[in-house]
A and B are shown apart, each in its own frame.
Chain A
Amino acid sequence: MRSKHLSEQQLVAASAGDAGTADEHAHLSACETCRARAGRLQALLAEVAAVAEAEADARFPSHRLEAQRSHILECIEQDGRPAQIIAFPAGSRAEVRTRRVTTRSRWVAAAAIAGLAIGLAVGRWSHRQPPVALSLPGTPPADSEIWAPGSDRPATARGSSEDEFLGQIEQASTGLLPELRAIHELTPHVEQVLAINADGR
């Protein structure tokens, strides 16, 4: 053999379409072992990509993309006025089932905490943390930076008020108020509830 086999890193680079050095090319064309290794890796990557695309396309068939497109354009036609982003159009029953979550015990706890929160802490949090976001020159900044209070906000799905409500509860229970933190700690977390259900039902 003229030179030692390609390292895994070189192989990955070659399989991912990187140009590689002249030596690597020469080795690859001369060495059957490395060609076979590269072929296997390329086949694997192609399989992973094909499967991922097929999976996403099965979830977003053409009629759904069309509905999504129409809705985006409708929102724009309304000149950016708040329009509710539609939940996924006419989803299958399976998806509806998947999506459904009960508000049972956690919501009871949440409501209790919220009640207290309103009593104890109105006005103590008026500021939401901006989301962790990538910034790039020319990239629209995070939500909170773009839309001043009272201005038109772009549509956000599934009720931003609910999210804000949850965010406020969360902030109240974790950060600001010891009274609420005590209650929060008494309330089982969802993983704990699932574990209890799995073990003890």
Chain B
Amino acid sequence: MPSASRRGGPVHAASPTAAAQTASRSHLSGDSALASEVKRHVLAGERDAAVERFAILLANQQRRAARIAFQYLRDVHDADEAVQDAFLRVFTHIARYREDLPFEVWFTRILINRCLDVRKTRARRLRWTLPIEAAAPAPEPPDGSPSIEARLVSGARVQAIAAAVETLPERQRAVFILRHFGGHSPADVGRVLGLTESTVRVHLFRAIHRLRALLEREGP
């Protein structure tokens, strides 16, 4: 099996700056080319070559996918399920990939669909099962000592931010996540969610307005 793990992933933006978005876009075109290669190999019956190219695509997109799915679902297992399922679908249906669409847009649309399915299943499970523990404890690293990230995510400010994002109405949240965590342009967010660009901007404005009201601290 090709080892995707040996290959480096993309550089991810820490904040939605113009530079980060440019980096994200330039990387994107590379992944669209990769997806086209996978498609070509699949259509030519060259499965090994297709899998090898797909492994690189997977490694490139995986962290971003995990971030989007986690922020969307707020559950690590559900996010894992949605991400795995979305990638499997990509490979199974790569013949339907249209080269005029950035791969990232096509893939994110599949991912969001999987997230919706997972959420539907989760709602059903919740209806029929009774949770023992209502509160989710903070994540622990495997060796038991809290990592910097774990300490960070347990902070009050972090919890306030997560809670604020979670209070956003569904569509505003989706738009905000794709724009600010996924690094998509408003036009691409529209293509992912099936909204016009102006609708995306309206949702984005409302989302930011609300987050600001909830989170903005008094100036020094």
Interface of A toward B, CB cutoff 8 Å: 8-9, 12-13, 15-18, 36, 40-41, 44-61, 63-66, 68-77, 80, 85, 87-88, 90-95, 97-107, 110, 131-140, 142-143, 146, 154-158, 163, 166-167, 169-170, 189-190, 193-194
Contacts and interface: CB of A to CB of B under 8 A. Distances in A.
A49 B127 contact: no
Q: Is the interface of A mostly helix, strand, loop or mixed?
A: helix
Contact of A138 (B77, B87, B97, B125): B97
A106 B130 contact: yes
Nearest to B138: A94
A169 to B, nearest CB: 7
Given A65-B66, A166-B124, A45 B71 contact: no
Contacts of A55: 70, 149, 152-153, 158, 162
Nearest to A174: B127
Contact of B106 (A70, A80, A102, A138): A138
A40 B216 contact: yes
Given A58-B153, A94-B137, A88 B80 contact: yes
Given A90-B142, A92-B139, A77 B130 contact: no
A72 B58 contact: yes
A57 B67 contact: yes
Interface string B6-47: 000000111111100100000000000000000000000000
Q: Which of B77, B83, B138, B186 has the most CB of A within 10 A?
A: B77
A60 B76 contact: yes
Contacts of A163: 121, 124-125
A53 B132 contact: no
B27 to A, nearest CB: 16
A103 B132 contact: no
B49 interface: no
A77 to B, nearest CB: 6
B84 A58 contact: no
B109 A104 contact: no
Contact of A16 (B80, B97, B117, B179): B179
Nearest to A165: B128
A70 B5 contact: yes
Given A55-B153, A156-B85, A98 B137 contact: yes
A45 B16 contact: yes
A142 B162 contact: no
B21 to A, nearest CB: 6
A60 B194 contact: no
Contacts of A53: 12, 14, 67, 181
A46 B16 contact: yes
A67 to B, nearest CB: 9
Nearest to A36: B219
B137 A154 contact: no
A16 B183 CA distance: 11
B128 A155 contact: no
A65 to B, nearest CB: 5
A50 B15 contact: yes
B98 A44 contact: no
B153 A54 contact: yes
Contact of A8 (B15, B80, B192, B209): B209
4 smallest CB-CB distances across A and B, nearest first, come from A58-B149, A46-B15, A157-B81, A140-B93
B128 A136 contact: no
A17 B149 contact: no
Contacts of A73: 1-2, 4, 51, 54-55, 58
Interface in B119-139: 120-121, 124-134, 136-139
B85 to A, nearest CB: 7
13 contacts: A44-B216, A45-B15, A52-B181, A54-B158, A59-B76, A68-B62, A98-B133, A131-B116, A132-B116, A133-B113, A133-B116, A138-B98, A169-B128
Contacts of A54: 149, 152-153, 158
Contacts of A138: 96-98, 101, 106
